[in-house]
């Protein structure tokens, strides 16, 4: 049996791009539904109705509600890892994460549920090893020059990650509900940068 000919390959490539585009569009539509109605309202059948697509087609992409929720959670993790995007300034990265947390409370709840469940953190936060390595190299220590000393870097990074993901929502909901979203983001950025500067982790 022979493989695809050169003439067949462009058509296959187009089909793959169409599948990927539809898959991504379904995830983004799921995100919109969750933001509007909450996680509990999301189902494969409901998603099909919302996007005006045949239910069988949606099931082709997501075999179950659990698979759909996992895809949404993975997408959320990818958004949060933008905090490490070297193409953007640290201020932009910090602001992006805080704004994403504030504007997507139901997604963050879903992500936190998976984050605290048993399992490897790398499946929820793919940049974990990079986070640890950078903190170990440049992190806090008695010399102030990247010597981590007695600091438990894994616990330190857990503090930073949990604070960045949960902190803005707690602050906006329970500490200063009178502040605008932009004010909350600015205050968190200023304080986070102060902490990173103190611990030798402030980057441009």
pLDDT in tens, 53-106: 999 999 999 999 999 988 888 888 777 776 666 567 888 888 998 998 898 888
Of 34-43, 49-58, 162-171, the poorest mean pLDDT is in 34-43
Distance CA 179, CA 98 (A): 14
pLDDT at 5 over 70: no
Residue 203 predicted with pLDDT over 60: no
In the numeric block, which tokens belong to residue 43? 């189902």
Q: Which two tokens stand for residue 145?
A: 């020059």
CB-count burial class (<10 Å; 0-12, 13-18, 19+) for 42: buried
Whole-number pLDDT of residue 13 = 54
* Count of Cβ atoms closer than 10 Å to residue 68 Cβ: 21
With a pLDDT cut of 90, the percent of the chain lying above it is: 27
Using the predicted structure, report yes or no on whether residue 166 has a pLDDT greater than 60. yes
Work out the burial of residue 30: count CB atoms within 10 Å of its CB; fewer than 13 is exposed, 13-18 middle, 19 or more buried: buried
Q: How far apart (Å, rounded) are the C-alpha atoms in residues 22 and 17?
A: 8
Please, which pLDDT band fits residue 128 given cuts at 50, 70 and 90? confident
Q: How confident is the model at residue 168 (pLDDT cuts 50, 70, 90)?
A: very high
Contact 101, 82 (CB under 8 A): no
The pLDDT-based confidence of 146 (bands split at 50, 70, 90) is: very low
Max avg pLDDT among 131-135, 178-182, 196-200? 178-182
Lowest mean pLDDT among 32-36, 127-131, 146-150: 146-150
User: Which residues, in sequence order, are CB contacts of 25 under 8 Å at separation 6+?
Assistant: 51
* Alpha helix (H) residue ranges in the chain: 8-37, 44-51, 55-61, 65-80, 90-103, 105-116, 128-138, 153-170, 181-198
Whole-structure pTM value? 0.71
Q: How far apart are CA 89 and CA 111, in angstroms?
A: 25
Query: From CA 135, how far away is CA 159, in angstroms rounded?
Result: 12
Q: How far is CA 32 from the centre of its chain?
A: 15
Mean pLDDT, rounded, of the chain: 81
Q: Are 160 and 153 in contact (CB under 8 A)?
A: no
Task: Please check whether residue 118 is in contact with residue 172, taking contact to mean a CB–CB distance below 8 angstroms.
Answer: no
């Amino acid at each position: 049996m022979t493989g695809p000919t050169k003439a067949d390959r462009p058509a296959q490539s187009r089909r793959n791009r169409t599948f990927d585009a539809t898959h991504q569009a379904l995830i983004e539509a799921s995100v919109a539904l969750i933001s509007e109605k909450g996680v509990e309202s999301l189902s494969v059948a409901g998603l099909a109705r919302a996007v005006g697509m045949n239910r069988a087609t949606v099931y082709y992409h997501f075999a179950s509600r659990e698979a759909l929720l996992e895809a949404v959670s993975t997408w959320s993790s990818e958004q949060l890892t933008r905090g490490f995007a070297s193409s953007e300034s640290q201020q932009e990265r910090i602001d992006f994460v805080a704004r994403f947390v504030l504007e997507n409370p139901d997604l963050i709840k879903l992500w936190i549920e998976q984050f605290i469940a048993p399992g490897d953190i790398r499946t929820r936060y793919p940049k974990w090893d990079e986070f640890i390595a950078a903190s170990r190299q440049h992190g806090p220590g008695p010399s102030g020059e990247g010597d981590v000393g007695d600091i438990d870097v894994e616990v330190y990074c857990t503090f930073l990650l949990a604070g960045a993901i949960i902190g803005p929502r707690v602050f906006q909901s329970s500490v200063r509900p009178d502040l605008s979203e932009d004010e909350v983001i600015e205050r968190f950025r200023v304080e986070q940068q102060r902490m990173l500067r103190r611990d030798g982790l402030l980057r441009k």
